[in-house]
Structure 1
């Protein structure tokens, strides 16, 4: 009889999970990858409950805290635990709406705090080396476009979505565009918020050089007939269609390898480099916030930690009392002629 009861509980749990997954697929329209993760996290929840001799409807906060501690002890990162708890919390919130549980057992359970990682930024020398690279292996059309992409990302600190959304000319349907005469990029950032960012001299020159050859690719005319809207895009592929974020990632990987950099560069690394280098030079955190389009200055403050690392290295290299291992340069001998 116990086995039968256990089987019935497992079947009931499975039914609730299936109904919830159908709900988030239809009502919340979650992406397939997110649905897959939800299914995995809920299967793990059902397994843990079963091992504790519980149905999903019997889970209490103490059980959730114990399982969270087990995940943490097994080496799972706090961010990963937070995502699991978020899925479980959403599931029990839905069960509450179905009047299946009296309270949400995950509501007041929070993942361990994670140290905020520093953003990865290039050194000034590496950023300049990447921007000034002349790749002899690339055809002139591709080389001109790729150089303009790198210069614009590093000059303006754009997100990759903002970059690929740029049009060559302003228009009523444009998400963003460049004003070359005014030396400004007008972009649409997160939350559909628009902002204007100055464009540096080198980036302006690179974009102008790209625009001179942009329409010269032999494959473009036929592609434009198939997709006339692509003709507005500032950055296009060889088939004439607007470049995708994935294409920009691949472009930067190729270019960073050709430049001999130690690690592959991705678009957000150039955004981090822009912010870090501007802050190092100006010390104006509020200006960096505006340039990046951050709604909260707390998001921007992470770059002050990068700036402090830069200052600490300069201190270690220059200050006589910073050498702790007896490797300080010898002090000059006293001048015996001085009294």
Structure 2
């Protein structure tokens, strides 16, 4: 990677505190820009708008990226040239005003209220009839469901929780205050309330955690080897639990976050509160749940209103 691109990657890592996965995406986009420019015989520091359009067209035609991936690449490239301009290395941003093709915005998938409650209340004894139930794993997995659905946490926020607050902790649960403190996107810290059901699940798991966790392990959630549970393990255990509980669709951690937001909004109608609970920087990100809420209302209307009933 060219020196300027590598320096910019360090800049966004330190200044914007990008997550490791985001840094991989940025590095991939920057390398593609460098390669496309080399293939086209243009220098990055003298790139003009018409050349930028050709590179974007080449990206779309040759690599066949979808609209969302195109938009992400262009966003990274615009950010690069914005930084290069601030460093007085370029005179203009050749990607300003260049937009990716519009993509359809699918609604986030959320469980129905009854399905979410059924999953939260499910006992793991039926997951595998041929194997004895490990009450420690059952308590942990139930705690996972309650924290994802009851608090609306991202899986990265859940993985980062420690059993107790410490100087190096990304997140923790204050049992006395019934409150979880997590480190969200962009290194932003927020606190969310922990409901009674989640508190009960947490207390049950904490009473058994010491039987699994290593002596020097600070993580709230640990695996069978006593180390911090990872996102892949959480996804796998949640998938198995949802299947055993008879869920109508594939359930993943972010679906429970969507369900949390949708169900809170249906009950309260308070979009700002949902924004705060989810840790969204912009209200427009949260507004997508109003569409889910409208779908819920439309179904009620179709089922209940005399003028909506089909003859």
TM superposition score normalised by structure 1:
0.73
Q: Paired residue for 1:9?
A: none
Q: Paired residue for 1:135?
A: 124
TM superposition score normalised by structure 2:
0.79
Q: Paired residue for 2:175?
A: 180
2:161, 2:99 → 1: CA distance? 40
1:306 Cα offset (Å): 0.7
How big is the alpha-carbon RMSD for the aligned residues of Structure 1 and Structure 2?
3.3
Stretches of structure 1 lacking an aligned partner (at least 5 in a row): 1-16, 329-339
Higher mean alpha-carbon deviation, 279-288 vs 256-265, is at 256-265
1 or 2 for the larger relative contact order (CA 8 Å, sep ≥6)? 2
Matched, 1:35 2:27: yes
Maintained 8 Å contact 2:159/2:228? yes
Q: Paired residue for 2:221?
A: 235
Q: Paired residue for 1:209?
A: 204
Stretches of structure 2 lacking an aligned partner (at least 5 in a row): 14-19
**Higher radius of gyration, 1 or 2:** 1
Correspondence for 2:164 among 165, 169, 174 = 169
Q: Paired residue for 1:125?
A: 114
Report Cα offsets for 1:210-262 as digits up to 9, x if no partner. Answer: 11211123xx4xx42xxx1x1x3221112222222232222222222222324
1:38 Cα offset (Å): 2.7
Decide whether aligned partners of structure 1 residues 73 and 19 sit closer, same or farther in structure 2, where only a CA change above 3 A counts.
closer
2:52, 2:287 → 1: CA distance? 34
Report Cα offsets for 1:58-117 as digits up to 9, x if no partner. Answer: 754234335646766897432222233345446666887999876443233232344443
Decide whether aligned partners of structure 1 residues 202 and 104 sit closer, same or farther in structure 2, where only a CA change above 3 A counts.
closer
Task: State the secondary structure of the residue aligned to 2:191.
Answer: strand
Higher mean alpha-carbon deviation, 123-132 vs 104-113, is at 104-113
